[in-house]
Amino acid sequence: MDNNKIKEALILKHYNNLTKNIFNFLADFFTNKFYTVIYNLATQYTQKNNFTLEENYINILDNYLDSLIIKNPEEEEKKSKIISNFIKILYENYMKYINNQMIDMDDFLLKIVQSYLPNNHREEIYVKDKNNIAIIFHTIITSISEYMIEFIKLNLNLVLQNRVKENLVIIKKDFIYIFCKVKENLEINFNNEEENINNEFSDNEREEINCEEMIKNNVFYIALENKYNDTTNENKKLKFLVKELMEKNKKITNDIIKMKKLLVILNNKLKQQPQTQSQTIDIDTIPEVKKTNINDILNNKIDKINKDIEIDKQEINIMNDIEEENPFSDLLIN
């Protein structure tokens, strides 16, 4: 069967009422990105650097594809932000595409995922889990992006040289074929998994299946397990950091308490020292004090000192109470 017949067969099989809306939207979105947005960007770069238009265009394509591929945990945080931003742009464009009808982000991602899954797996519970949706969505977008970029590189004349409106139709049609091809590949993978399970049963004897091993070898399980391990390791690092900060905080708190106690003692000693001759003041020479009873002044002064000491004691007690509390104890449970 030649390529054209294969294309027609796949499009007839997978481009239907269940997929048309999403496939048409994605074809419009990516055609605009590759034909207009990236072309204009490459043109701007060509005016600023020493590379040709083709070199700049291909560099942008490669950078886009690289941003989707997470090779190790170190890249995950940085690229997750890029992918999240990409999803936001995709979602905003879909809202315009459907004239701002009511649909939230999670339902939008689910619609894309369901469009690519085999029909008999669209409504399964595990598909609708947010984490699984994110993993399957990322897998689908990476797969279609690889095929689309491969097609564009083989047909650069459609984008860079012979820029006519008819090219948009050609690119869209091939993109829809690519979406059908990815859907067919997913269907084959699902069918192979089911066939492998069925082959475990002989005609005469039903052999026991190692479910645990089967689950562990599943692509989605492996991706989830890697995500779980990365999150667990990050959590351990954060717990260690919190513990370290708490130890430092405890030491600083103890130092503050000691300083406060020393200041109270020093303050008391200074207040108890008798005045020197140079500090003696003849109260009778101060007009405002002449009519005031000296005993009243001294009594008021002593009362104020006692109040200051009492306040300091209360602050020390409060600091002691704080020292005993551990606001992060729930984070440090093993």
Kindly state whether residue 72 falls inside one of the protein's structural domains: yes
Does one domain contain both 66 and 155? yes
Does one domain contain both 236 and 214? no
Does one domain contain both 62 and 42? yes
140-156 pLDDT per residue, tens: 999 999 999 999 999 99
Q: How many CB atoms lie within 10 A of CB 177?
A: 22
- How many separate domains does the chain show? 2
Q: How far apart are CA 267 and CA 310, in angstroms?
A: 12
Place of tokens 């984490």: 131
Among 65, 67, 61, CA closest to 160 = 61
- The domain in which residue 40 lies consists of 3-201+209-219
Does one domain contain both 185 and 247? no
Kindly state whether residue 34 falls inside one of the protein's structural domains: yes
Q: For residue 12, what pLDDT band results from cuts at 50, 70 and 90?
A: very high
Does one domain contain both 183 and 271? no
Q: For residue 240, what pLDDT band results from cuts at 50, 70 and 90?
A: confident
Residue 34 or 205, more confident: 34
Kindly state whether residue 224 falls inside one of the protein's structural domains: no
Does one domain contain both 74 and 13? yes
Kindly state whether residue 90 falls inside one of the protein's structural domains: yes
Compute the residue count for the chain: 334
Q: How far, in whole angstroms, is CA 300 from its chain's centroid?
A: 63
Among 108, 178, 167, 96, CA closest to 144 = 178
Does one domain contain both 183 and 91? yes
For 128-155, letters b (16+ CB in 10 Å) and e give eeeebbbbbbbbbbebbbebbbebbeee
Among 220, 138, 181, CA closest to 19 = 181
210-229 pLDDT per residue, tens: 566 656 666 666 777 777 77
Whether residue 297 is predicted with pLDDT greater than 60 in this model: the reply is: no
Beta partners for residue 206, in sequence order: 201
Kindly state whether residue 225 falls inside one of the protein's structural domains: no
Quick one: CA dihedral 142, 145, 151, 154, positive or negative? negative
Does one domain contain both 191 and 312? no
Does one domain contain both 161 and 53? yes
Q: How far is CA 243 from CA 234, 238, 328, in A?
A: 14, 9, 8
Does one domain contain both 171 and 241? no
Does one domain contain both 262 and 134? no
pLDDT of residue 213: 63
Does one domain contain both 214 and 250? no
